[in-house]
Amino acid sequence: MATFKEIPADAPVAAKVTNWLENRFPTAFDAYKVHMSEYYAPKNFNMWYFFGSLALLVLVIQIVTGIFLVMHYKPDAALAFASVEYIMRDVPWGWLIRYMHSTGASMFFVVVYMHMWRGLIYGSYRKPRELVWIFGCAIFLCLMAEAFMGYLLPWGQMSYWGAQVIVNLFAAVPFVGPDLALLIRGDYVVGDATLNRFFSFHVIAVPLVLLGLVVAHLLALHDVGSNNPDGVEIKGPKAPKDANGKPADGIPFHPFYTVHDVFGVGMFLMVFCAIIFFGPELGGYFLEYNNFIPADPLKTPAHIAPVWYFTPYYSMLRATTDPMVNVLCGIIGIAGVVALLSVKGKSRIAIAVGAIIGIALLKTFDAKFWGVVVMGGAVVILFFLPWLDNSPAKSIRYRPTWHKALYGVFLVFFVVLGYLGIQPPSDIGTLVSQIGTLFYFGFFLLMPWWSTIGTFKPVPDRIVFAGH
């Protein structure tokens, strides 16, 4: 039987209540100590470390506003659009709840992209945080699925036709494509069955998986400890300790970083509220104007494009044309010849066979299928990042200057791909998208080679950089 802690009879009421709870629910207090008051984080966090807590905040906003929206939403193709209008016009404060949810969806991806960028530049995916990164990438995939399914629910023109286009992409999968698309739609066209399926997954299935992954992500992070801008480990047998055996370069997460994050939350909420009250559509990027028109299966919009946070990958899909496939065949052929000239022994035969098989596969299936592969591969390749980066320095601070330039070019291309994905197709846009797609995959696939080249700065044994 557990031993109860006793406190003086004249102790304050708050202390008595805390003691009463701790005696009856010690696990919660132990968890608080492990993950908050006695969790030591590096003392040099900067503004890039706001975005993890902000992602958790937006997740809570989405869940709470989603609950209130479900109270009035009708998952019926004949009633869905009208129910959204009812929420906007007749439900008390319904317009605010709806705009918080729609703006929250875009802001979720803003903070997640910033969070992932921080992990990329500071090497937060490197040993011993590989599993933390993998859980994070799985969260990103779940967010994409959640956002895509939620996008159909307003049943506007862009919702309907966007879902029609994306679901039809699955039909490009060889052999099982048509059956797979039929399974996802639940019908031969996007209709009431599709709406009900997407509603079920958006409200119940995907959020449960997402919450489980978020918990796993946080637990895995707190088991190995947080990374920092210097990429120096503050825990472990070789890390310096103070007189009490605590990390000398660490500080308790609470109260230091809870206060730190409150500042970030305040700045975020000012931007968030400004968008909600003054421009919830944000020029058509957060809410497309076509989506304020009821879905009409007989009237196709002039230009169909996904929401902005999907557009980089949509650009890669559109960039994968027959000429692009021919270019890929040429790249594989040249890479095979170079490898044959530089490699000796039996490996030469394996390289030649691999190049021939790769070219044969590219020519066997049409460009539409390879576009789907490229679009999916652009996300899947992120899972392998911990094993692609062989740099002797984790943080970009101690890498060669040209590495920083390379990361900058990568970011520019990603933003340009996102912009082109919103625009109608054009010859020059397709060419730029193809170059951006090749650079995106080249950045990761060639990383085992280029990440080791150059003169690296000495990595300090202890944290030396100030927090701000």
- From CA 42, how far away is CA 395, in angstroms rounded? 14
260 labeled part of a ligand binding site: no
Average pLDDT score over residue span 25-33: 88
Q: Which amino acid is at 381?
A: I
- Contact by Cβ (8 Å): 202, 154: no
- From CA 208, how far away is CA 203, in angstroms rounded? 9
Nearest one of 24, 2, 20 to 12, comparing CA atoms = 20
Reported as a single tens digit per residue, the pLDDT across 418-443 is 999 999 989 999 999 999 999 999 99
**What band does 468 get if pLDDT is binned at 50, 70 and 90?**
very low
Average pLDDT score over residue span 158-162: 92
What would the two tokens of residue 209 be? 């998986």
Q: Which amino acid is at 124?
A: S
403 labeled part of a ligand binding site: no
Q: Kindly state the percentage of the chain with pLDDT values over 90.
A: 66
3-state helix, strand, coil in the chain (%, to 5): 70, 0, 30
Q: DSSP secondary structure string, 147-194?
A: HHHHHHTT-BHHHHHHHHHHHHHGGGSTTTHHHHHHHHHSSSSSSHHH
Average pLDDT score over residue span 445-458: 94
What's the confidence (pLDDT) of residue 358? 85
Is pLDDT at 467 greater than 60 in this prediction?
Answer: no
Reported as a single tens digit per residue, the pLDDT across 161-214 is 999 988 988 888 888 889 999 999 998 889 999 999 999 999 999 999 999 999
Reported as a single tens digit per residue, the pLDDT across 247-286 is 888 999 999 999 999 999 999 999 999 999 999 999 889 9
Q: Which amino acid is at 332?
A: I
CB atoms within 10 A of CB 231: 22
For residue 52, the number of C-alpha atoms closer than 13 Å in the C-beta half-sphere is 21
Q: Kindly state the percentage of the chain with pLDDT values over 70.
A: 98
Q: What is the pTM of this model?
A: 0.93
- Contact by Cβ (8 Å): 333, 355: yes
455 CB burial (10 A radius; 0-12, 13-18, 19+)? exposed
217 labeled part of a ligand binding site: yes
What's the confidence (pLDDT) of residue 2? 58
**What band does 465 get if pLDDT is binned at 50, 70 and 90?**
low
Looking at domain 33-231+247-282, its CATH architecture is Up-down Bundle (1.20)
What's the confidence (pLDDT) of residue 179? 92
What would the two tokens of residue 261 be? 């994050």
- Contact by Cβ (8 Å): 355, 332: yes
- Contact by Cβ (8 Å): 250, 42: yes
For the chain, give every residue range classified as CATH 1.20.810.10.
33-231+247-282
- From CA 55, how far away is CA 36, in angstroms rounded? 18
Average pLDDT, the chain: 91
**What band does 346 get if pLDDT is binned at 50, 70 and 90?**
low
Reported as a single tens digit per residue, the pLDDT across 103-145 is 999 999 999 999 999 999 999 999 999 999 999 999 999 999 9
What would the two tokens of residue 264 be? 């970030």
177 CB burial (10 A radius; 0-12, 13-18, 19+)? middle
Reported as a single tens digit per residue, the pLDDT across 223-252 is 999 999 998 988 877 788 888 888 888 999
